[in-house]
Amino acid sequence: MIGTMNWKSTRMKGTFDCPECGPTEFKLRESRPFLTFYLIPVIPIGGMEVYVQCDKCNESFEPSVLSIAKPDELVSGRQRTYDDDLLTSIALMLNADAIGEPNIWVAQRVYWRLTNQSLSRSRLGSECSQMRSSRMSMSSFLATASERLDFDERLSVASALFAVAAVEGKLSPMRSKILQRLPALLAVDESAFRESVEEAVELV
């Protein structure tokens, strides 16, 4: 029988300062999707995802959360960019609840408006899948991502996430909970955040 699976392995272990629960132990994990034949991994069908998993709270974080990591963690051999962080943020918001066609269309539209680059369904789906596999949450991702984004970039991420979350005027409890935490996660004041919410309408 043919199927797919995420092959996970532990690269190293150690101690770190978890943004959620303080000093504790961690595992540096690798995850890569494979095509399987009778449950045996045969062909890799996606890129390698590297993340830090806290042994105490079980949250997943970017490798840059470790003091041994570079301030700007590499993605596929290059530095992460605003575009990378925007895509990951959008994927995490989508993963917070059911994903329908309107969600996908708005995500693609918002990404294009903010980066002037098209976003394919396959790339968006791959990012959502990788985030689910690594069990990354919005709070754990933004704990490191917000430090490398400037103020305007953080506001544009907030606008994008509101637009993606409030598709067709509907807002699920899970996505609403994330939006309520965004000002603190992105280190922006309430006034600036309200302006970013108003600008979200112009992105769609």
pLDDT, tens digit (0-9, with 9 covering 90-100), for 144-197: 888 889 999 999 999 999 999 988 777 889 999 999 999 999 999 988 888 888
Q: How many domains does the chain have?
A: 2
- Residue 69 φ then ψ, to 5°: -85, 160
Give me the mean pLDDT over the 63-78 stretch.
54
The pLDDT of residue 203 is 78
Q: How far apart are CA 199 and CA 193, in angstroms?
A: 10
Query: 54 with 15: CB under 8 angstroms?
Result: no
The pLDDT of residue 41 is 59
Which of 114, 98, 68 has its CA nearest to residue 172?
98
Of 11, 46, 70, the residue that ends a domain is 70
The pLDDT of residue 22 is 84
Instruction: Please give the residue range of the domain that contains residue 115.
Output: 81-203
The pLDDT of residue 124 is 92
Of 51, 70, 89, the residue that ends a domain is 70
Identify whether residues 95 and 180 lie together within a single domain. Answer: yes
Beta bridge pairs of residue 44:
34
Tokens, residue 77: 């051999």
Q: How far apart are CA 170 and CA 134, in angstroms?
A: 28
What type of residue is 5? M
Residue 101: which CATH number? 1.10.3680.10
